[in-house]
Amino acid sequence: QQQVKQSPQSLIVQKGGISIINCAYENTAFDYFPWYQQFPGKGPALLIAIRPDVSEKKEGRFTISFNKSAKQFSLHIMDSQPGDSATYFCAASDMSLGRLYFGRGTQLTVWP
Amino acid sequence: EAGVAQSPRYKIIEKRQSVAFWCNPISGHATLYWYQQILGQGPKLLIQFQNNGVVDDSQLPKDRFSAERLKGVDSTLKIQPAKLEDSAVYLCASSSDTLGEQYFGPGTRLTVT
C-alpha cells in the first residue's frame, strides 16, 4: 500500500515558470513532510520540510503548501530554472519513529 | 563535515550470488537507515538502526537480506542469494536521532543478471 501518493509522474516547465507537485497521505500520525531533490547518480537531498502546525513554508524559490484537513501537501518552485531539472520526492513520517515513506517521484524538466 | 559514504558505487552479479554493501554514516549520527530504490520509484526503507540495535526491519526480506551495525558506526547490508528483482540502488542514510534530518549517501547501484 502506497502511504504517500505523488503526482504528476513527470513535469515539463518553461524557464521562469512555476512547477507544482502534489502529494497526499492517509496516516494521520504523520507529523513531518519533507521534499527531497535527487539528481542522476546522487542520493536524495533534503530541499524543504514542513510540520503540520503551519500551512505554508517558504525558502527562496521553494514553497510547501500544507492542507491538514485534506491530508495533502504540495511543492511550488517559482521562477523554475534549468538547474532545477531533477527528480523530486515527497515524503512523510512519524518523527518519533523516524522512518520516511516516499512518494514515487516526479521527474521535472525545465527547458530554456 | 563529511557526508555519508557508501561502497561500492556499482556492482554487477549473477542471480544466486551474494553481495555486500558498506555504509559509513556521518560522524556522531546515532540513527542509520538502509533504503532500496527501484528504478522509477521512491526509496523504500529496508532497515533502521538506532546505535547498534534494530528499530525497524519489517520490510527486510529476511530470508535473503541481512544487515548489521557493529559498534554503532559502520553498517553492512548483505544479500544472499540475489534475485533479479533485487536490482536497485541501495541507499544508506543517517540522522542524529529519529527526529533529525536524514542525510543520504550516493547509493550503490546493484544489477543482478
- What structural domains does chain A harbor? 4-111 (2.60.40.10)
What ranges make up the beta strands (E) of B4-43? 5-7, 10-13, 19-24, 31-37
Q: Taking all residues of chain B, what is their mean pLDDT, rounded to a whole number? A: 95
What ranges make up the beta strands (E) of chain B? 5-7, 10-13, 19-24, 31-37, 44-50, 53-56, 65-68, 75-79, 88-95, 103-104, 108-112
- CB contact (8 A) between residue B98 and residue A96: yes
- CB contact (8 A) between residue B99 and residue A100: no
> Which residues from B are below 8 Å from A21, CB to CB?
none
CB of A46 closer than 8 Å to CB of B102:
yes
A25 part of contact set with chain B, CB < 8 Å: no
**pLDDT for residue B12 is more than 90:** yes
Q: Tell me the pLDDT band of B1, cut-offs 50, 70 and 90.
A: low
CB of A9 closer than 8 Å to CB of A30:
no
- CB contact (8 A) between residue B99 and residue A49: no
**pLDDT for residue A95 is more than 90:** no
> pLDDT tens digits for B59-72?
999 999 999 998 88
- CB contact (8 A) between residue A98 and residue B104: no
> pLDDT tens digits for A60-74?
999 999 999 999 999
pLDDT at residue A107, rounded to an integer? 98
Question: What class is the B15-96 domain?
Answer: mainly beta
Say which of A4, A6, A100 has its CB closest to residue B45. A100
Q: Tell me the pLDDT band of A110, cut-offs 50, 70 and 90.
A: very high
* Chain A residue closest in CA terms to B57: A99
Mean pLDDT of A16-29: 97
CA distances from B43 to A105, B4, B51 (A): 9, 16, 22
Q: What percent of chain B has pLDDT over 90?
A: 88
Distance, in Å, from the CA atom of A70 to the CA atom of B83, rounded to the nearest integer, reads: 40
What are the domain boundaries of chain B?
15-96
